[in-house]
Amino acid sequence: MDKVVSLCKRRGFIFQNSEIYGGVGSTWDYGPLGAELKRNVKEAWWREMVYQREDMEGLDAAILMHPQVWVASGHVQGFTDPLVDCKSCKKRFKADSLQTARCPECGGEFTEARQFNLMFKTFMGPVEDEAAVVYLRPETAQGIFTNFVNVQTTMRRRLPFGIAQIGKAFRNEITPGNFTFRTREFEQMEIEYFVEPGTDQHWHEYWVQERFQWYSKYGIEKDNLRLREHGPDELAHYAKGCYDIEYLFPMGWSELEGIANRTDFDLKQHAQYSRKDLSFFDDLQKERFIPYVIEPSAGADRATLAFLLDAYREEEVRGEKRVVLGLHPTLAPIKVAVLPLLRNRPDLVELARSIARDLRRQFVTRYDDTGSIGRLYRRQDEIGTPYCVTVDVQSLTDHAVTVRERDSMLQDRISLEGLETYLLERLCGRDGS
């Protein structure tokens, strides 16, 4: 983890938030390359979960919602973690994650556990009283449930169909940490997939497979991924069953994504609290019922971290250490780097810049002439750029360039005319990515 954290800072992926003020409780900022990487992760999710399916609609609901939403969902009452303090060193712990009865830091005694609600509270409007309390959403899911009827009727959907959403969520975690793995502000990529009761088991299994494959498609090693079924004592109050997709993070197997069968719990709760009819009318079978819901709920930041960790490798090449981010080309922040072999030759620089300008219309392209070619390659390897295009003296006369592939380091001489096609064939998947 330390190596990836240091690379992230050094190369502009992830910075500590408010760093110049000493930082603030586990919040992170994505720098130029991190912003691209995370955006690519979210786009890969949206493309496959929304655009490439005929049974999905997208949504972008507000973060602030009516406070009754969180009463109905059970969050006001039950979205709590048990908190204990060490009486000696005053450190705080989540009671259910402790292995010992005494403080792991100093051996001190703990206070009694108190339930601590993880929702951030704020006030809507100028008066800061109880009546004005609203919450920053702790999950994006509720914005989907409250819009179920809106989406279903406007888009004239029959079951089964899903609603997908990417957005920020906030949890006042007691013990954030492990870099971006657990933070207080994070982004979720959630689907609520509405099905006829009785078919829920089938769709639950379907989504577990579907989501598992998504991570391996984008490059996560099979050995570093596993499925874990929740035991009955672990299940959330609303869930009939739940699987976690876990990744072998440096601190051990940990959740990447949860896929729960939420039954009809949420729609029923919201129907009761809002006194609105949230049922679905099946016009073929002439039946009215509340759908069951399968929820694949992933974290965009956790997925980004897993892709980074999995891609990181160190190799020895001709006696020198080479650090490579073997990111899937679809996720790589920069797709092509254009590098002049000699930076003090204006004609080479001009040609290289014009090649970069042309490629930029098609791919995220970087021009770099701030070092020797060896150093420039190393820099691109370290940020995961799949292809480097090198412009040399011969390019001026033969109108061709050398294209070097990141993983194999193999080089091809490609004519300028065929360069874009060559890169398109290698960089763009058949899924339009």
Residues of this chain that interact with ligand ATP (CB under 6 A) are 139, 171, 173, 182-183, 186, 188, 255-258, 297-299, 301-302
Beta strands, E only, 156-251: 161-170, 185-195, 225-229, 241-249
Instruction: Kindly state the DSSP code that residue 231 receives in the 8-state scheme.
Output: P
Q: Which residue is nearest to ligand ATP (CB)?
A: 299
**Interacting residues of 112 by C-beta distance below 8 A, sequence separation 6+:** 84
Q: How far is the CB of 56 from ligand ATP (least distance, A)?
A: 18
CA pair distance 214, 45, nearest whole angstrom: 8
Q: What are the backbone dihedrals phi and psi of residue 81, each rounded to the nearest 5 degrees, phi first? A: -120, 145
- For ligand ATP, the closer of residues 74 and 108 by Cβ is 74
182 or 270: CB nearest ligand ATP: 182
Residue 327 bridge partners (DSSP): none
Nearest approach in angstroms of CB 327 to ligand ATP is 19
Percent of the chain that is helix, strand, coil (3-state, to 5): 35, 30, 35
The least distance separating ligand ATP from the CB of residue 355, rounded to whole angstroms, comes to 40
Shortest separation between residue 41's beta carbon and ligand ATP, angstroms: 12
Region label for 58, one of left (φ > 0), alpha (ψ between -120 and 50) or beta (otherwise): beta
CB nearer to ligand ATP: give 146 or 297.
297
To ligand ATP, the closest distance from the beta carbon of 409 in angstroms equals 34
The candidate with the shortest Cα–Cα distance to 66, out of 127, 151, 131, 148, is 131
Indicate the residue among 38 and 302 with the shorter CB distance to ligand ATP: 302
- The full length of the chain comes to 433
210 sits in which H/E element:
helix 200-217
- Tell me the closest approach of the beta carbon of residue 15 to ligand ATP, in angstroms: 17
Q: Of 228 and 378, which CB lies nearer to ligand ATP in the complex structure? A: 228
Strand runs (DSSP E) across 310-417, as ranges?
Answer: 312-317, 320-325, 336-340, 365-367, 387-391, 400-405, 411-415
Q: Cβ of residue 103: shortest distance to ligand ATP, in angstroms?
A: 22
CB of 188 or CB of 385, closer to ligand ATP: 188
CB of 385 to ligand ATP, least distance (A): 27
Residue among 196 and 255 whose Cβ is closer to ligand ATP: 255
Distance between CA atoms of 197 and 214, rounded to whole angstroms? 26
Residue 407 burial (CB count, 10 A): 11
Nearer to ligand ATP, 256 or 293 (CB): 256
The C-alpha torsion from 332 through 1 and 213 to 325, rounded to 10°, is 30
